[in-house]
Structure 1
């Protein structure tokens, strides 16, 4: 069932979302050759706890860490570890915070030091596909209009869109209805209504969209070993044109 939030709930989601956006900015400034992904995890967890929030991912479905740290060919659900980031890597960080009973969820992909032109293009296109997709996220459109717009941007750039993992509704729970594919024909699915809150999250690969899960039962990687990027924000359908992005904090 798709939940429609009331004004009080929207304010709580704004607060959780802002915390997530601030944490992403903090981690972004730490990413450089020589840092470990576990250091990023620990900083994020402390940041959330220091601000009265809980790191939503920790223990979610048994996930053992506070962030997902997915490097290079890892699409989503990468485990933080003692792995040291190296010049030329790219890293996708997905994280969530639960504050006063409501969840914010967002992901970013960043380059580590100097990266290849192809890697930078992938990051840029993935981000662009999100912003193009949410132009369709207004009252009266259908859910698939978002995913269709995402797919058009990614494939026009020569990349592919992951099929096995999708965006989702969000609120009191991190994953609520409806699922939000990043591909498909427009004009399908439920109508978008005022005060829906959605996590739109393109996952885009350089090569094939086919993926598989590693032996840890969590980390998803591209079948061909080529790079993947991820960009996500929690958005609010305002009823007044374009949606509001709740997890993007501009410095």
Structure 2
């Protein structure tokens, strides 16, 4: 009996084995078909990650994963286009789009010296700075525009370039990068590109054909502003290396002035330190050695909202005023070194003009002068402008009206921040016979045949430290 039961169990086991074999054959056949029908072909190992999965399998799941991955890549590319964070060459993207957070780079930070060292760690002073952050960001935005524009200009300025082309290229780039917007954002004053013995206040008038030469020494001085917060910054370009000591003298003198400036610093002490460094340099030009001289009637100056010269002058020679610098003030620290007499006078055709900051309402008899004053108020306010800017906004036949706005035959001696200026005024616009409405600023020149160099930075005397707003990698 026991023997009969074993046979039945054996048959049952054999039947089960045959069934499993058939199932295995069917699975292997399907796998073979999916690999192109090759006998003995093995299915690929599972992919290591999602990116591999989108390539290998032709299944619906694989195709879906592939489509999703492609879609994801397209989205990331689109994101990069919307938020470039990188300037083009030449620069064309407004700087506020490069810094979408609205926080612009700080300038160089320098600690105060001696009795003001405590300011660095004062919580009260730090809180004052936090309250001023919107204003700081405005002027830093203007400084970033200045840095990017001058970096590009330094790369393209070459001998043989028309001065008119140079100025228009620079100014149009400023307008684009700062998003020019009336009196809220734009150019702070005309581009100064004074050559050789001309120290300041020269820019080409319409039709000027002056060409930059290899042996020229050019001072490139331009300004930017946001909501009237002005960055005034300048450097000198010279292609001939024999002028290098002249440029180095001015660069070092400017950095010395920045170092000496600070809360409670006396203006006369800053000037004395600048002169000592400047006049320690000599330069050999065509076999003749010249001592570099500080131009004694050109100065740095304080800066106010919509006011390029806000009342205080920073001398570049000893013997200046005992006036102290104060917390919260902006200054343009600029120095001029010359191989000439070290003294400038007015010369050449005037191109720069600026409305008197303190002038009130003045009744006008000449209709064209009245119309021109309205144009000046709307487009420039109390910021400096030049004839090219009037041409650009469509003004024509305005020279006589411009003369009218420069006043009636009164010689007014007025301090305008970085020099003392005898203004020869013309006709028809003065309040009570003494206040000039519009001030001309002719070019300022040392003796012909001499060479003048300039470097300049804008600094802010913050409650806790000194910030060189316009500092860059270049100077």
TM-score between both structures, scaled by the size of structure 2: 0.47
Q: Which stretches in structure 1 are left out of the alignment for 5+ residues?
A: 58-65
Q: Which residue of 2 aligns with 1:72?
A: 196
Aligned to 1:16: 142
Asked if the contact 1:21–1:106 (Cα under 8 Å) also holds between the matched residues in 2, the reply is: no
Of 320, 334, 337 in structure 2, the residue corresponding to residue 201 of structure 1 is: 334
What are the within-5 Å matches in structure 2 for residues 109-188 of structure 1?
109-112=236-239, 115-117=240-242, 119-157=243-281, 158-172=291-305, 173-185=307-319, 188=321
Contact 2:194 2:220 in 1 (8 A): yes
Change (3 A) 1:122 1:36: same
1:55 and 2:181 aligned: no
On the 8 A contact 1:33/1:87 being kept in 2, the answer is yes
**Quick check: which has more Rg, 1 or 2?**
2
**What secondary structure sits across from 2:246 in the alignment?**
helix
SS at match of 1:169: strand
Q: For residues 24 and 149 of structure 1, what CA distance do their matches in structure 2 show?
A: 28
- Cα shift at 1:224: 4.6
The within-5 A match list for 1:77-92 is 77-80=201-204, 81-92=208-219
Q: Is the 8 A contact 1:166 1:179 kept in 2?
A: yes
**Contact kept? 1:76, 1:219, Cα under 8 Å:** yes
**Following the alignment from structure 2 to structure 1, what is the Cα–Cα distance between the partners of residues 225 and 265?**
29
Question: Counterparts of 1:175 and 1:195 in 2: how far apart (Å)?
Answer: 16
Alignment partner, residue 286 of structure 2: none
The count of corresponding residues between Structure 1 and Structure 2 is: 235
Q: How far apart in 2 are the matches of 1:213 and 1:185?
A: 24
* SS across alignment from 1:174: coil
Q: Which has the larger displacement, 176-185 or 126-135? A: 176-185
Q: Which has the higher contact order (CA 8 A, sep 6+)?
A: 1
Preserved contact between residue 138 and residue 238 of structure 1 (Cα < 8 Å): no
Return 229-238 or 15-24, whichever deviates more.
15-24
Give the Cα–Cα distance (whole angstroms) in 1 for the partners of residues 213 and 449 of structure 2.
Answer: 17
Could you tell me which runs of 5 or more consecutive residues in structure 2 were left unpaired when the two chains were aligned: 1-128, 180-184, 282-290, 351-441
Q: Alpha-carbon deviation of 1:198?
A: 0.2
Q: Secondary structure of the equivalent of 2:318?
A: coil
Q: Is the contact made by 1:204 and 1:228 (CA closer than 8 Å) also made in structure 2? A: yes
| Separation of aligned partners in 1, 2:222 and 2:271 | 22
**TM-score by structure 1 length?**
0.85
Within the alignment, does 1:235 sit opposite 2:437 as a pair? no
Q: Do the aligned partners of residues 224 and 233 (structure 1) sit closer, same or farther apart at CA in structure 2, a change above 3 Å counting?
A: same
Q: Secondary structure at the match of 1:78?
A: coil
Answer whether contact 2:145 2:224 (CA < 8 A) is retained.
yes
Instruction: Tell me the SS of whatever aligns to 2:213.
Output: coil
- C-alpha contact 2:139 2:225 (8 A) present in aligned 1: no
RMSD: 2.2
How big is each residue's C-alpha offset from its partner over 1:76-96, in whole Å with a ceiling of 9 and x where there is no partner? 112234211121222101111
Q: Which has the higher helix share?
A: 2
Partner of 2:370: none
Distance 2:295 2:136 in 1: 30
Q: Quick one: distance in 1 between partners of 2:325 and 2:335?
A: 19
